[in-house]
Structure 1
Amino acid sequence: MRTIQKWLLTVLRLLRSRAFAVSGLAALLSVTVYATSASINTVYIHDDDLEEAILIRTSEDDINVILENQGIEVRPADTVAFTGFENQVAEVTITRAFPVSINADGKTLTVHTTGGTVREILSQADVEIDDQDLINKSLSTFVEPDDEIVINRVEYLTSQVEEEIPFEEEIRYTPLLRNGRSEILQAGRTGTLVKTYIERTVDGVVEEATLDGENVVEAPVTQISLVGADVPVSDLNLGYEIVNNVPTTYEKVIKGARATGYSAGSRARGASGNRLEYGHVAVNPKVIPYNSLLYITSEDGSFVYGYAIASDTGIALMDGRIDVDLYYETYRESELNGVKNVNIYVLD
């Protein structure tokens, strides 16, 4: 400034004109003052940390320098909106970030944000969610300072549980054993049942289990015991009157017949086509036709096979070595039968 004034005075002396000097000096000073005022910027600063906006005048045009000169610190999560200078006037708005905590997967994460929805905050924090998760706030809710977002992870898991199926016990009374004696005909065996459950877990803890299905992997085997008693083997009841172990009416009787026992397994059929079970016997059809109704007992009544139907035959029967073969549903019972002398009453 002083250099300009010296130069101006020198020029004025040379011109030796007071009026010219005065008018020239005024013009030069005006230009200088304008140039000086034109370099001053006006900045309005709005800061969430401050109660009121502040106004500053500065020759700086770098917003970061302006804020630094004012001692205003901008944290990483804060946002700064700067309008830029227009006619040397600018406006700055600083939005301060606030903390929001996220509790998920056994951890707590703090996120600093200037705002947004719960969904946006979770995305910002790289916290993944799915439709099954439980969240304490709606995803569309806008967060507020010190909000806490709690996420409970929900899963549906499949589990299987094995259970033992107890076996049942069946007692068969039979004349093949002496009264009161017993023998296990078939040993019992427990089965296995697998139950499938759908478990609803929340953060790894099972809160609900729903039975989804059952599958019998191994069926139990019934334990069958033979107990000696004065009862017939056959459970057929053909309706004839029996007195003193003898039918009151019958067509003929074959006394002192040789009777053996046999077994053919489940669902077996005899030569007549009848399904074989207790009460069906094998005969020589030339002597006793198929489907004849019979009553078979020992002479003294110590062994009673009971009512029977002629349903089968065999080689020993056809060549006369035995007279009747009594059917049993188990091989062991056929063994216990051995060879017995019986009377065969042909009823029909």
Structure 2
Amino acid sequence: MPVWVLLKPTDMMTKGGYMFPRFRNTGLTIRISKNAALKILLIFGSIFGVFLMTGLLYFRNDVEIIDENEKRIVYTVSADPYEILRENHITLGTYDRIDFTGFEENVATATLTIERAFDVDILEGGKKTATAHSVDATVAQLLEQAGVELGEYDKVSPAKTAVLKEGQKIAVTRAYDVKITADGKTTTVKCLDNTVSELLKRAKITLGKNDMVSEELESKITGPAEIKVSRVEIKTEKQDKIIPYQTSTVTSNILAIGQSEVRTKGVNGKIRTTTTTTYIDGVKTDVKKTTKVVTKKVDEVIAEGAAIVTPYCKIDDTSIVLRNGRPVDYEYVVSGKATAYTAPEGAYTASGRMAEIGTVAVNPNVIPYGSKLYIVGQYDNICYGYAIAADTGDGMMAGTIPVDVYMGSTEEHYDDACAWGLQYVDIYVVEVGNG
């Protein structure tokens, strides 16, 4: 005979966000027949079915599912958003994303939002090479998703941190190889519109000031290329050659025979030959020689005296050639007494010339004004030297004194005139004046 245990509902319990009745054992045992038991089971089964149907209606939850532009309300007893989607035969893609608000107190309807991933094409060289799927993913995340790796010098657009919208594409520009040959070896570097200068730096190649590069340093390399660096070494050698000066002598009418002086000091010349040799990658390619006068040679000139004694007048007229202290060429000679005089500074002579050492007084009827003279003592004891007939005086006009030599304008010159006194001289008229 079946035995039944009587259970009594006591309170409600919560499970999975839903309310269910809790039962307890009353301790009362009932023994009934099979027929009675069958009838009781039928009654309880009917009651349970009604309870189940009404309970489901009572304990259900409302969920609004938003799938892109489609919205619908569904009813569920589940709190799991993925279970709710399965109940409603809604399939998620691998990269789709959901947002579920959950069942909150005082909120009648929960919201389950589906964000569908959209395709993003990845282009290289204008051609699609991969596709990624995005829901608020960054460019970097999409490249990783598609297994696209970027080299150090590759570029991507938009930027890696950008979040794409539907319809946008990712463009990858790959750096290309540039070969740089220098110092006997070739280095390959990646390039993307870089200048030659940037690529040399990338290859850690330093240029010397004379080195040559096959491309302009600031030109951009826009595709695979080869660049050659030629090492240029320039060696310079300098060689100096001394050019000795020559010595020459001239005759001086203002120095006594046996005297000499250096008129022009000799200086040795120096010529520098510079040899410039150019080596390209160790091979001699060019040799240039240049010659430059560093120091100009100056020949030394020594004056040797030709006068009998040192002349009073220091005008050295080289047109008057002396031999044994006397002119070789002349028009005529006037011999006689010679006196000396002085005059104040700025005084003029009878011919209109200013009085200065080298002008003398004569009888213009004998020696015309302007005549070029050379006056020397008859006994080789005294010499006035070069003179110009420019003045006159009573003694000259009387014919007693053929010449009166001018000694100067100072007190010292006056002493010279007194020391001269009266001398017997020969007056060589080298060139006759015209008055």
Q: Which has the higher contact order (CA 8 A, sep 6+)?
A: 1
TM-score band, normalised by the shorter chain? 0.3 to 0.5
Normalised to the residue count of structure 1, the TM-score between the two structures is 0.42
Instruction: Considering fraction of residues, name the structure with more strand.
Output: 2
Highest CA radius of gyration, 1 or 2? 2
Normalised to the residue count of structure 2, the TM-score between the two structures is 0.36
